[in-house]
């Protein structure tokens, strides 16, 4: 029969096995399913950009304020997310280190009991060690990383381990060491120092038993907070949220998790320690009565216990095999639950759409968009779908296959509703269209709000190059050159500028210059004037034409669709896109014309027949009130038609955002 | 064993120090005849060639842009030991102490830089003979006799459009590279701060404008270390030399955007007027001559004797003072005016035109007078009120001791002498101010790239001649190459701002202590209220 010690070692090994399995699963999950490269793509678009630059000035600046060290390291490690396997490794390493530190803390803080008494309880308490790792995983599930606060927590945990492992007996020395560590951690990781104080206070209360220190540590933490707030006039949110990347409110999950990062583990540790202390006292009581030599009482007690369901349950948990099985599988179970609860598959797909759009992988944009429930489309997704349709030559034929939204088409929303991401998308879109001034303005707004991410630096450099402001462009390119991942792009462009200052061989720059509007006015209204300015500059601006037509189709301005059909000749189009054709037919019907030919373009007879069919069913079933029946009667052939959109959706589109299908 | 390790560590440390010293030490004197002479000056960045520099300026670190594998620069003047600096990268970082000594000992004399570049196919140097080296023509600068004020206070931010987040006012010690925040918007929820103004180039009296959606618009008034919050926003401010009052403008300013110009931002004052704040009574007053209903008054500046307030004034061309007039924005041109004032009796005279836009054909803005009262420097640009957004903005100098009428009761003066300074560029020059000894002018210029404003200094001699400007020196000579922020509104002060940013931040977050009534009604912003669309984001 194995000794208690052997059982303990065996149980530790099993726990160890459980953690290994946990972290292997963790790594594979993050790498293959979450794909950290998508999170990297989200930096500066979906989530705040973790600033990092490889120059001394940035390092000096980071070292000059509390929390800067954590931000610097977090910023650097975040860059590694560009490579999914490496990002997953970073996340797993951080999670594992937090787990390890937590495990040591539980062991040191919870129980100083002889083996056999604390062993089982200690084993079960290991569960709480997974809390930080699970929270990190949940954040990744939301397509955010928030490495900086987790690094801060990691620093707090390990500094707590160092403190608790010290063998210094003198209270004064321990207090001095604590204060130094506290100050150091405050400098490195700001509010994680309060977590450190909390944890070591728990230790001193339950394990250290040093009365003076129990009071001193929380007093120091509170004093620091009060000093920061009242003496140094640091605002409360700056103290607490300094290390939290901005714009948390976009995902309440992330916001809540990040705020809980600093509290959950210490509170769980406290709860665990209290539970353990109560349990141990109860066990001591039992033991005392047993040691009194009252065997008969003992058997009487046993008998009492054996008679209840709770007794059976207790027996089950005291059974070594069952306990081992639970301790091994429980972490995996927790992992699965946290994934299930926090994972947002729709968000992943939306991020993928954005990612593919940025990479100009247009077919992939559409493939991914088709996997998203239409009701889950946001305006960015719809906008990217429209761009993908344009670039694949299908905007005039398939845009109504997807939910459409007027605001999404041109990204025209009120200023107060603008997100950081909107500014960058607007800038990219308008640059392609040829509206350079608005593209520039949006890019600068983005840079001020969201920081100098490589995306915006490249965008501003491109804009300045289009405008011929080469020296200004070089400033952005040199700044871009300091980026860990995209620095090569900056350096390559600078080299190209040395050889070709006018970028005469750069097709993209030359194209944008050819379509750039030269109408000088201070109107900011999108609409007829906006498009006509662009087409006046270059009648071959296909994007401006197709978006103009899409705008007219979305708003039901049939006469303008018809009036601009002739521009197809400027673009050397060979066929009339489906929606233009259908719009012409509707226009014919409304203006009671028998036939219609515009600049050599006219609708085909079969399209006119289709229109008649729609009109016939519309009248038969009573119009707007029987949309469902009409659609059903028409069948899937008409699902993509402009006829139905015109009849049923235009009133909704013009009134509210989003379209129901 | 321990002793062995200790010895080993000591040996390694000694070796490391020796190696470092070897590579960083100067390598003896240069024998000129062994070098190939290049008959031009080397290209260096920043351009510190042919300038006049203050004797107390921080080292002018620069980078040599000539291709090579090693660089040697010798800096010398008439007296004192030359400074020899070697570099492998071309970046020349001059030691502070020796630089300071050299400049101080050679006031009024020439400062020379001899630059040697080792060619890529050159041989190793042996002893004191340099083989494969080229020597360029000597770069010469002049060390002025007069110091520059030791501190520069400026606004540091990215090129802003509608939103702001990261704005700070900083002070830089011009004698070294120390840089500290006077106040940063982060300390009051990412607010905006601007229009820092000092009395007589000292921080004893200072004002700072604040805009914050959370804490409102206000002015921080610092007097001898005490900070008070005045519940109204002062825009362009000027202290009366007595310190008893400050004149300031109230501007209803709006930003709008062009489509095709290089600088797409533009600014218009839909309405503006001048007021003045009396320090003792804490009252705000105005006068008819500085707040005419049908004119836009702005950019006040006192004459050093306090007898005149100079300002810019333009007729209001529109009736609606809420809408940006799309047709008339480029028709607004400001005159330069002045009005007499008696600080003892608080009485104002009649405004008189010093220089009219009609005569110059341009808009006259930002007058600043040298502390000795001799020179008035102003901007002129094609139109409007915001020269930093106008590439046409250039600096002009007016000699106030010449061209003034003998009688002072005429409404219009004789056309004074003024000239365009030779220190302008094709891009905007603006936001200028003088040092306390009137010899140094600091100003903002976009000459490097047309977008980012940088701070420059130019020596103005007793005759009003302006010498080639030089850029604010930095420890890293390539600092400006990738700097995405602008240095704006430079002001020279003789000693540092002592009041801490914590004290200032606390004052911002408190309710205003002084809430005087504003005597001007109409389209002026209410106290404590942020009206303009330049807003912060959370």
Would the pLDDT of B529 be above 90?
A: no
**Contact assessment for residue B191 and residue B185, using Cβ atoms and an 8 Å cutoff:** yes
**pLDDT at position A50:** 87
Cα–Cα distance for residue pair B512/A356, rounded to 1 Å: 52
A277 touches chain B (CB under 8 A): no
**pLDDT at position A168:** 79
CA distance B419 to chain A (A): 30
**Contact assessment for residue B435 and residue B492, using Cβ atoms and an 8 Å cutoff:** yes
Q: What is the pLDDT of residues A342-362, one digit of tens each?
A: 888 898 999 999 999 999 999
Q: What percent of chain A has pLDDT over 90?
A: 37
Percentages of chain B per state (helix, strand, coil), in multiples of 5: 10, 40, 50
Instruction: For residue A403, give the nearest of A387, A431, A383 by alpha carbon.
Output: A383
A234 touches chain B (CB under 8 A): yes
**pLDDT at position B26:** 45
CA distance A285 to chain B (A): 53
Among B185, B384, B482, the strongest candidate for a mutation testing the A interface, having the largest count of A CBs within 10 A, is B482
**pLDDT at position A118:** 47
Among A55, A236, A444, A477, the strongest candidate for a mutation testing the B interface, having the largest count of B CBs within 10 A, is A444
**pLDDT at position A497:** 96
Q: What is the pLDDT of residues B483-506, one digit of tens each?
A: 999 999 999 999 999 999 989 998
Query: Mean pLDDT over residues A572-577, rounded?
Result: 89
Q: What percent of chain A has pLDDT over 70?
A: 80
> Which element (helix H / strand E) includes B236?
none
**Contact assessment for residue B408 and residue B351, using Cβ atoms and an 8 Å cutoff:** no
Burial class (CB in 10 A: 0-12, 13-18, 19+), A412: middle
Partners of residue A520 in chain B, C-beta under 8 Å: 258-261
**pLDDT at position A115:** 46
**Residue of A57, A452, A519 with shortest CB distance to B259:** A519
Residue A460's alpha-carbon distances to A452, A457, B37, B451, in angstroms, are 10, 5, 42, 12
| Eight-class DSSP state of B497 | -
**pLDDT at position B537:** 34
Would the pLDDT of B405 be above 80?
A: no
Cα–Cα distance for residue pair A62/B218, rounded to 1 Å: 31
- Per-residue confidence band for B19, with pLDDT thresholds at 50, 70 and 90: confident
Partners of residue B505 in chain A, C-beta under 8 Å: 233
**pLDDT at position B88:** 93
Would the pLDDT of A335 be above 80?
A: no
Would the pLDDT of B470 be above 70?
A: yes
Burial class (CB in 10 A: 0-12, 13-18, 19+), B442: buried
Would the pLDDT of B525 be above 70?
A: no
Q: How many residues does chain A have?
A: 661
Burial A160-189 (b: 16+ CB within 10 A, else e): bbebbeeeeeeeeebbeebeebbeebbbbb
B425 touches chain A (CB under 8 A): no
Per mean pLDDT, which range of A197-201, A267-271, A396-400, B239-243 is the poorest? A267-271
The interface residues of chain B toward chain A in range 304-363, judged by CB-CB distance below 8 A, are 324, 326, 329
The mean of the pLDDT values for chain A is: 82
Per mean pLDDT, which range of A171-180, A325-334, B241-250 is the poorest? A325-334
- Per-residue confidence band for A593, with pLDDT thresholds at 50, 70 and 90: confident
Cα–Cα distance for residue pair B316/B90, rounded to 1 Å: 55
| Eight-class DSSP state of A627 | H
Would the pLDDT of A71 be above 60?
A: yes
Would the pLDDT of A369 be above 90?
A: yes
Would the pLDDT of A162 be above 50?
A: yes
Would the pLDDT of A216 be above 60?
A: yes
Q: What is the pLDDT of residues A423-448, one digit of tens each?
A: 889 999 999 999 899 899 999 999 98
Instruction: For residue A503, give the nearest of A541, A472, A444, A462 by alpha carbon.
Output: A462
Cα–Cα distance for residue pair A320/A317, rounded to 1 Å: 7
DSSP string, A108-153: HHH----TTTHHHHHHHHGGGGGHHHHHHHHHHHTT---HHHHHHH
The interface residues of chain A toward chain B in range 479-518, judged by CB-CB distance below 8 A, are 479, 481-482, 517-518
Query: Mean pLDDT over residues A530-548, rounded?
Result: 90
Query: Mean pLDDT over residues A498-517, rounded?
Result: 92
Among A65, A71, A438, A449, the strongest candidate for a mutation testing the B interface, having the largest count of B CBs within 10 A, is A449
Identify the residue with better confidence: B5 or B401.
B401
**Residue of A233, A444, A476 with shortest CB distance to B502:** A233
**pLDDT at position A248:** 43
Q: Taking CB atoms and an 8 Å limit, are B161 and A441 in contact across chains?
A: yes
**pLDDT at position A247:** 42
Q: Which residues pair with B184 in a beta bridge?
A: B168
Would the pLDDT of A309 be above 50?
A: yes
**pLDDT at position B535:** 40
Identify the residue with better confidence: B12 or A586.
A586
Per mean pLDDT, which range of A498-512, A552-566, A631-645 is the poorest? A631-645
Q: Is the dihedral of CA A465, A469, A474, A475 positive or negative?
A: negative
**pLDDT at position A249:** 41
Instruction: Name the strands in the sheet holding B245-257, side by side, starting at the edge strand that comes first in the sequence.
Output: B237-239, B245-257, B265-278, B283-285
Question: Helix (H, G, I), strand (E, B), or coil: what is residue B273?
Answer: strand
Question: Helix (H, G, I), strand (E, B), or coil: what is residue A178?
Answer: helix
Identify the residue with better confidence: A375 or A659.
A375
Would the pLDDT of A291 be above 70?
A: no
**Contact assessment for residue A200 and residue A178, using Cβ atoms and an 8 Å cutoff:** yes
HSE (CB half, 13 Å, CA atoms) of A113? 21
Per mean pLDDT, which range of A178-192, A299-313, B69-83 is the poorest? A299-313
Cα–Cα distance for residue pair B283/B268, rounded to 1 Å: 28
Residue corresponding to tokens 């305006």: A379
**pLDDT at position A127:** 79
**Contact assessment for residue B300 and residue B251, using Cβ atoms and an 8 Å cutoff:** no
Q: How many residues does chain B have?
A: 538
**pLDDT at position B319:** 85
A446 touches chain B (CB under 8 A): no
Query: Mean pLDDT over residues B306-317, rounded?
Result: 96
**pLDDT at position A418:** 56
Residue A184's alpha-carbon distances to A187, A306, B115, in angstroms, are 5, 55, 46
Per mean pLDDT, which range of B35-49, B161-175, B196-210, B514-528 is the poorest? B514-528
| Eight-class DSSP state of B389 | G
Cα–Cα distance for residue pair B341/A164, rounded to 1 Å: 73
Query: Mean pLDDT over residues B118-142, rounded?
Result: 73
Helices (H), B49-164: 96-104
Cα–Cα distance for residue pair B364/B345, rounded to 1 Å: 30
Question: Helix (H, G, I), strand (E, B), or coil: what is residue B341?
Answer: strand
**Residue of B161, B262, B329 with shortest CB distance to A444:** B161
**pLDDT at position A220:** 76
Q: What is the pLDDT of residues A438-492, one digit of tens each?
A: 899 999 999 988 889 999 999 999 999 999 999 999 999 999 999 999 999 999 9
**Contact assessment for residue A195 and residue A262, using Cβ atoms and an 8 Å cutoff:** yes
B159 touches chain A (CB under 8 A): yes
- Per-residue confidence band for A166, with pLDDT thresholds at 50, 70 and 90: confident
| Residue A5 structure tokens | 């010690």
pTM: 0.88
Partners of residue A464 in chain B, C-beta under 8 Å: 451
Cα–Cα distance for residue pair B313/B315, rounded to 1 Å: 7
Q: Taking CB atoms and an 8 Å limit, are B262 and A474 in contact across chains?
A: no
- Per-residue confidence band for B132, with pLDDT thresholds at 50, 70 and 90: confident
**pLDDT at position A526:** 65
Residue corresponding to tokens 């929380």: A218
A232 touches chain B (CB under 8 A): yes
Residue A415's alpha-carbon distances to A418, A423, A442, A527, B186, in angstroms, are 5, 10, 11, 17, 22
CB under 8 Å to A473, separation ≥6 — which residues? A460, A461, A462, A464, A465, A497
The mean of the pLDDT values for chain B is: 88
Question: Helix (H, G, I), strand (E, B), or coil: what is residue A58?
Answer: helix
**pLDDT at position A158:** 94
| Residue B154 structure tokens | 């400026």
Identify the residue with better confidence: A243 or A658.
A243
- Per-residue confidence band for A302, with pLDDT thresholds at 50, 70 and 90: low
Cα–Cα distance for residue pair A195/B291, rounded to 1 Å: 58
Cα–Cα distance for residue pair A337/A353, rounded to 1 Å: 27
Partners of residue A61 in chain B, C-beta under 8 Å: none
Query: Mean pLDDT over residues A154-175, rounded?
Result: 88
Neighbouring CB atoms inside 10 A of B434's CB total: 23
**pLDDT at position B73:** 97
Query: Mean pLDDT over residues A157-181, rounded?
Result: 87
**Domains contained in chain B, CATH given:** 18-143 (2.60.40), 151-524 (2.120.10.30)
Per mean pLDDT, which range of A217-226, A496-505, B77-86 is the poorest? A217-226
CA distance B501 to chain A (A): 9
Q: In this structure, what is the dihedral angle of CA atoms B505, B506, B511, B516, given to the nearest 10 degrees?
A: -60
To the nearest 10 degrees (0 to 180), the angle between helices A192-203 and A84-110 is: 30
Instruction: Name the strands in the sheet holding B168-173, side by side, starting at the edge strand that comes first in the sequence.
Output: B179-184, B168-173, B151-157, B486-493
Start-to-end CA distance of chain A, whole Å, equals 70
Burial A594-617 (b: 16+ CB within 10 A, else e): eebebeebbbeeebbebbeebeeb
Number of cross-chain residue pairs from A and B with Cβ atoms under 8 Å apart: 102
| Residue A597 structure tokens | 């030919």
CB under 8 Å to B435, separation ≥6 — which residues? B148, B149, B201, B371, B441, B442, B492
Would the pLDDT of A365 be above 50?
A: yes
| Residue A550 structure tokens | 């899409």
Chain B, nearest residue to A456 by Cα:
B484
Chain B, nearest residue to A437 by Cα:
B259
Identify the residue with better confidence: A310 or B209.
B209
| Residue B522 structure tokens | 């109409």
């Amino acid at each position: 029969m194995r000794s208690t010690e052997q059982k303990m070692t065996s149980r530790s090994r099993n726990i160890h096995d459980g953690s290994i399995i946990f972290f292997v699963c963790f790594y594979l999950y993050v790498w293959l399913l979450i794909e950290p490269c998508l999170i990297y793509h989200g930096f500066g678009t979906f989530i705040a950009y973790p600033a990092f630059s490889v120059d001394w000035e940035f390092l000096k600046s980071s070292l000059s304020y509390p929390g800067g060290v954590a931000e610097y390291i977090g910023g650097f490690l975040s860059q590694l997310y560009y490579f999914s396997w490496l990002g997953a490794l970073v996340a797993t390493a951080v999670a594992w280190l937090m787990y390890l530190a937590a495990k040591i803390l539980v062991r040191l803080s919870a129980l100083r009991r002889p083996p056999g008494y604390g062993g089982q309880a200690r084993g079960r308490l290991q569960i709480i060690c997974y809390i930080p790792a699970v929270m990190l995983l949940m954040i990744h599930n939301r397509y955010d990383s928030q490495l900086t606060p987790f690094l801060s927590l990691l620093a707090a945990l390990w500094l707590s381990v160092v403190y608790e492992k010290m063998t210094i007996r003198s209270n004064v020395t321990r207090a001095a060491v604590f204060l130094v560590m506290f100050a150091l951690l405050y400098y490195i990781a700001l509010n994680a120092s309060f977590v450190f104080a909390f944890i070591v206070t728990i230790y001193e209360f339950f394990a250290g038993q040093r009365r003076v220190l129990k009071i001193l540590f929380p007093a120091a933490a509170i004093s620091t907070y009060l000093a920061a707030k009242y003496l140094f006039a640091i605002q409360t949110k700056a103290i607490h949220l300094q290390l939290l990347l901005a714009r948390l409110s976009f995902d309440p999950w992330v916001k809540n998790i990040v705020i809980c990062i600093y509290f959950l583990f210490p509170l769980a540790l406290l709860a665990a320690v209290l539970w353990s202390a109560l349990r141990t006292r109860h066990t001591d009581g039992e033991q005392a009565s047993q040691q009194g030599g009252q065997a008969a009482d003992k058997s009487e007690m046993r008998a009492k216990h054996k008679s209840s369901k709770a007794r059976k349950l207790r027996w089950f948990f005291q059974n070594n095999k069952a306990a081992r099985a639970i301790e091994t599988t429980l972490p995996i179970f927790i992992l699965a639950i946290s994934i299930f609860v926090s994972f947002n598959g729709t968000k992943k797909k939306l991020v993928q759409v954005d990612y593919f759009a940025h990479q100009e992988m247009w077919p992939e944009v559409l493939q991914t968009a088709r996997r998203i429930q239409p009701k889950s489309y946001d305006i960015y997704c719809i906008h990217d779908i429209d761009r993908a349709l344009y670039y694949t030559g299908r905007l005039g034929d398939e845009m109504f296959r997807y939910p459409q939204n007027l605001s999404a088409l041109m990204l025209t929303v009120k200023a107060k509703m603008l997100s950081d991401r909107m500014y960058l998308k607007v800038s990219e879109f308008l640059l392609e269209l040829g509206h350079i001034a608005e593209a520039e303005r949006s890019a600068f707004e983005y840079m001020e709000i969201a920081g100098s991410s490589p995306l915006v630096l490249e965008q501003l450099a491109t804009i300045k190059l289009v405008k011929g402001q080469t020296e200004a462009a070089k400033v952005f390119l040199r700044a871009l050159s300091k980026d860990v991942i995209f620095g090569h792009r900056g350096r390559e462009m600078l080299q190209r500028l040395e050889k070709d200052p006018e970028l005469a061989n750069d097709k993209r720059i030359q194209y944008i210059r050819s379509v750039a509007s030269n109408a000088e006015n201070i109107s900011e209204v999108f609409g007829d004037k906006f498009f006509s300015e662009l087409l006046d500059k270059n009648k071959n601006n296909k994007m401006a034409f197709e978006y103009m037509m899409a705008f007219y189709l979305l708003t039901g301005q049939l006469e303008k669709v018809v009036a601009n059909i002739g521009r197809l000749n400027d673009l050397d189009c060979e066929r009339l896109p489906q929606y233009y054709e259908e719009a012409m037919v509707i226009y014919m019907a409304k203006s009671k014309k028998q036939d219609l030919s515009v600049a050599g373009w006219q609708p085909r007879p079969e399209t006119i027949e289709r229109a008649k069919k729609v009109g016939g069913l519309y009248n038969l079933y009573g119009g707007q009130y029987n949309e469902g029946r009409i659609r059903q009667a028409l069948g899937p052939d008409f699902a993509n038609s402009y006829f139905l959109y015109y009849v049923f959706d235009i009133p909704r589109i013009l009134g509210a955002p989003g379209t129901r299908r | 064993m321990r002793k062995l390790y200790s010895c080993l560590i000591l040996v390694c440390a000694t070796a490391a120090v020796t190696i470092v010293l070897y590579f960083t030490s100067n390598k003896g004197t240069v024998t000129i005849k062994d070098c190939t002479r290049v008959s031009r000056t080397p290209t260096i960045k920043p351009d510190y060639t042919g300038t006049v520099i203050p004797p107390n300026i921080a080292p002018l670190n620069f980078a040599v842009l000539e291709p090579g594998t090693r660089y040697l620069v010798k800096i010398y003047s008439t007296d004192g030991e030359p400074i020899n600096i070697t570099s492998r990268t071309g970046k020349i970082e001059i030691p502070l102490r020796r630089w300071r000594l050299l400049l101080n000992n050679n006031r009024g004399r020439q400062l020379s830089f001899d630059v040697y570049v080792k060619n890529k196919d050159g041989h190793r140097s042996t002893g004191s003979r340099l083989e494969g080296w080229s020597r360029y023509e000597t770069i010469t600068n002049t060390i002025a006799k007069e110091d520059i004020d030791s501190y520069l206070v400026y606004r540091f931010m990215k090129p802003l459009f509608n939103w702001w987040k990261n704005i700070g006012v900083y002070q830089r010690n011009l004698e070294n590279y120390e840089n500290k925040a006077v106040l940063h918007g982060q300390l009051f929820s990412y607010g905006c701060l601007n229009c820092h103004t000092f009395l007589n180039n000292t921080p004893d009296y200072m004002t700072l404008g604040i805009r914050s959606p959370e804490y409102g618009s206000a002015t921080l008034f610092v007097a001898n270390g005490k900070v008070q919050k005045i519940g109204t926003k002062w825009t362009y401010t000027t202290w009366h030399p007595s310190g008893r009052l400050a004149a300031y403008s109230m501007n209803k300013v709006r930003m709008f955007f062009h489509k095709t110009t290089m600088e797409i931002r533009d600014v218009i004052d839909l309405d503006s007027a001048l007021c003045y704040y009396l320090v003792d009574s804490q009252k705000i007053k105005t006068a008819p001559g500085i707040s005419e209903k049908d004119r836009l008054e702005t950019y006040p500046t006192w004459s050093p004797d306090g007898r005149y307030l100079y300002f810019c004034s333009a007729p209001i061309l529109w009736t609606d003072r809420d809408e940006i007039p799309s047709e008339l924005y480029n028709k607004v041109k400001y005159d330069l005016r002045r009005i007499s004032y008696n600080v003892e009796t608080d009485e104002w005279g009649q405004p008189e035109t010093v220089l009219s836009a009609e005569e110059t054909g341009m808009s006259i803005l930002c007058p600043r007078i040298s502390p000795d009262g001799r020179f008035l420097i102003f901007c002129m640009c094609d139109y409007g009120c915001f020269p930093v957004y106008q590439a046409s903005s250039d600096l002009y100098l007016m000699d106030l001791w010449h061209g003034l009428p003998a009688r002072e009761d005429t409404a219009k003066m004789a056309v004074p002498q003024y000239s365009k300074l030779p220190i302008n560029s094709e891009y905007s020059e603006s936001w200028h101010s003088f040092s306390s000894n009137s010899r140094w002018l600091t100003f903002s210029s976009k000459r490097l790239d047309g977008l980012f404003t940088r701070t420059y200094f130019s020596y103005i001699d007793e005759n009003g001649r302006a010498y080639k400007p030089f850029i604010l020196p930095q420890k890293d000579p390539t600092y400006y190459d990738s700097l995405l922020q602008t240095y704006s509104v430079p002001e020279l002060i003789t000693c540092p701002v002592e009041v801490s940013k914590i004290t200032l931040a606390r004052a911002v977050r408190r309710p205003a202590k002084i809430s005087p009534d504003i005597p001007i009604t109409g389209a002026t912003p209410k106290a404590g209220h942020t009206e303009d669309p330049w807003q912060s984001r959370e």
